[in-house]
Structure 1
Amino acid sequence: MPPPNFHEHIQADTSDEDSLNDADSIADSNLSFISTVRDYVYENGRRYHAYRYGQYPIPNDEEEQDRLAITHHLFKLLIGGDLYRTPLNQQLSPPKRILDIGTGTGTWALEMAEEFPNAEIVGTDLSPIQPNFSPPNCTFIIDDAESDWAFTKDEAFDYIHARSMGGGIADWGRLLRQAYNHLKPGGWIEFQEYDARINSDDGTHIKAPVLLDLIKTLDEASKKFGKRVSIASSLAGWLEEAGYTSVTSDVYKCPVGSWPKSPRLKEIGRVGKVSLIEAIEPYSLALFTRVLGWTYERAQEYVDKCRQEVMNSSCHIYVPFYYVYAQRPLDDSRV
């Protein structure tokens, strides 16, 4: 597992950059799962969840499921193929109950079920886009993480995981307290989030003014919506405030494009570029039209301009990815 690289200066490869015009073919190669429920809402050409409609502004259609597959691959690539940073393998015994909040297509939960065959894995989400069939130790529940959780005291978890929840949670303090109360003493929680900002080590990010404006506009719209997108850097502090201990924040630079000299970072950058291109529309479309009052045409034109800047190989930009994990104190017996 590679160590966090946020303080490492990434050297740029000055040779011709590999072409990434086949982004669509990469996305199309990922499997999307068949939903068990078809009660959806359609808006601006995208499909959204109907259960508690409007609470989460990201689509759940096949295109989004393909994007989630790419994102899952990217989160693993950054940490050497692992599913988590929490030191689960250093515990006296492996986890017996694992909860995946906002499980999406359920890929992370399914892979954890393979890694921990003796553990019970539970995934929750607003959208029923998980597979019809899963291993006997993996189940999926349609639920809102912001509501009261239905698990009893006897159903406490050894490990709780959540990924890409930025933009979907209104009251983080409440979520962290509720997670705390559903963890066993000594249990762990981990959040994996990408920060909604771009930067560079050589100042070339200033060549992407529309992308910089996108970050500002997304932050403005998500705050008005009541569920801020850019929260990754705040997670460690919130966990400490909620009473967790052993709080650790591992930050990785994710290059956007194959400009790094490092072969490993070059490969990550190729995937990172596709991931960013595919994320711009789902993160911005509903917020800009519902919250800021933009027309669909204006929002789509803006999305296209952002994507064009991502394709500029002279911008050596990266996105910070946060893996933040913490523990409920072992001597804490509160419920």
Structure 2
Amino acid sequence: VGDDENDGGDADSAMGELFTCPAGRDKPLRRVLDAGTGTGIWAMDLADLWWLALVLTAADEHPETLITGVDLSPIQPVFVPPNVTFYVDDLEDEWTYSYKFDFIYGRMLTGSIADWPRFIRQSFEFLEPGGWLELSDILLDLKSDDGTVTPACAAQKWATHMLEAAAVWKRPLDSCKFYREQLAAAGFKNIKQEIYKWPSNPWPKDPKYKELGMWTYENLGNGLSGLSLALFTRALGWSPAQLEVFLAGARKDMRDKSIHGWWPIYVVYGQKPG
């Protein structure tokens, strides 16, 4: 699925790479919530784009965008742009912000939220009229267009076990399949779902997708032990030794360039009526 067309200037085009929805096109983004900010890189990149827009255009055309990043882990940098604030908080608790947002963005939150309808309802409540919510997540279901991902593929077996284990813990890893319906149930309009293909390793010939595949394997393949240990040992009852033998096979298939696998990336967004 291709990117949405973006007719803006340099700053707007660059901003389009950070999110997909039309947030900021019809009115300035005064407050943005980065839900599950992690290292804070997205929030700081968005802040940098605001400063770039300020340099390229008149200041009164770009009122200051205040960006709030929230995460359970205090792993964000100490020195940040002046319009970025980070808080350690649990997104599953009752939200108590004293203000509302023009845009709420969440990426790779699957597995960290138990009650997605509640999270989406709270997002709706804390958006300004006309504000946008965008969610971006991977679906652990390795696919191929040429049949090279077979039922015997260890990488796909790993994904299947991850889904099973997450279901036991009631932290679903297939949450992205339901975002569209959940946004509609919460009252959002102008809902759109896009599914992108992320190569599992650098198998594509196209340089852009080859690089994307390289980073996908770096992040997923090299992080398998950390991603899998608790789920496999506690939810499925595997021993650590049994898991490591299994993961060796999964890594082998993940980096095998003859397996033309891709992970579905769901991007779903909607607008609060205004």
Q: What TM-score does the superposition give when structure 2 sets the normalisation length?
A: 0.87
For residues 1-335 of structure 1, the aligned pairs below 5 Å read 2-3=2-3, 82-91=17-26, 93-117=27-51, 118-152=64-98, 155-206=99-150, 209-330=153-274
Offset of residue 80 of structure 1? 10
Are the aligned partners of 2:15 and 2:46 in contact in 1 as well (CA < 8 Å)? Answer: no
Offset of residue 262 of structure 1? 2.3
Offset of residue 281 of structure 1? 2.2
* Structure 2 SS opposite 1:278: coil
Structure 2 CA distance for partners of 1:175 and 1:80, relative to 1, 3 Å: closer
Instruction: Find the aligned partners of 2:229 and 2:16 in 1 and give their Cα distance.
Output: 31
Letter in 2 for 1:90: R
Instruction: Find the aligned partners of 1:264 and 1:162 in 2 and give their Cα distance.
Output: 24
Are the aligned partners of 1:121 and 1:138 in contact in 2 as well (CA < 8 Å)? Answer: yes
Q: Deviations over 1:219-256 (max 9, x none)?
A: 11101101111222221111111111111111111112
Are the aligned partners of 1:100 and 1:124 in contact in 2 as well (CA < 8 Å)? Answer: yes
Instruction: Find the aligned partners of 1:300 and 1:150 in 2 and give their Cα distance.
Output: 43
Instruction: Find the aligned partners of 1:144 and 1:190 in 2 and give their Cα distance.
Output: 19
Instruction: Find the aligned partners of 2:89 and 2:163 in 1 and give their Cα distance.
Output: 26
Letter in 1 for 2:77: P
Instruction: Find the aligned partners of 1:127 and 1:258 in 2 and give their Cα distance.
Output: 31
Offset of residue 185 of structure 1? 0.7
Structure 2 CA distance for partners of 1:279 and 1:324, relative to 1, 3 Å: farther
Are the aligned partners of 1:167 and 1:227 in contact in 2 as well (CA < 8 Å)? Answer: yes
Offset of residue 324 of structure 1? 1.0
* Structure 1 SS opposite 2:251: helix
Instruction: Find the aligned partners of 1:125 and 1:184 in 2 and give their Cα distance.
Output: 22
Letter in 1 for 2:3: P
Instruction: Find the aligned partners of 2:82 and 2:208 in 1 and give their Cα distance.
Output: 36
Letter in 2 for 1:84: F
Are the aligned partners of 1:208 and 1:315 in contact in 2 as well (CA < 8 Å)? Answer: no
Are the aligned partners of 1:208 and 1:309 in contact in 2 as well (CA < 8 Å)? Answer: no
Structure 2 CA distance for partners of 1:135 and 1:208, relative to 1, 3 Å: farther
Offset of residue 2 of structure 1? 4.8
- How many residue pairs get aligned? The number is 253
Q: What TM-score does the superposition give when structure 1 sets the normalisation length?
A: 0.72
Instruction: Find the aligned partners of 2:45 and 2:92 in 1 and give their Cα distance.
Output: 25
Instruction: Find the aligned partners of 2:69 and 2:82 in 1 and give their Cα distance.
Output: 13
* Structure 2 SS opposite 1:323: strand
Instruction: Find the aligned partners of 2:23 and 2:222 in 1 and give their Cα distance.
Output: 32
Offset of residue 132 of structure 1? 1.1
Offset of residue 310 of structure 1? 1.0
User: Which residue of the partner structure matches residue 37 of structure 1?
Assistant: none
Letter in 2 for 1:88: A
Over the aligned positions, Cα root-mean-square deviation in angstroms equals 1.9
Offset of residue 159 of structure 1? 0.3
* Structure 1 SS opposite 2:201: coil
Deviates more, 1:294-303 or 1:160-169: 294-303
Are the aligned partners of 2:15 and 2:49 in contact in 1 as well (CA < 8 Å)? Answer: no
Where structure 1 has 5 or more consecutive residues not aligned to the other structure, the ranges are: 5-78, 331-335
Where structure 2 has 5 or more consecutive residues not aligned to the other structure, the ranges are: 5-13, 52-63
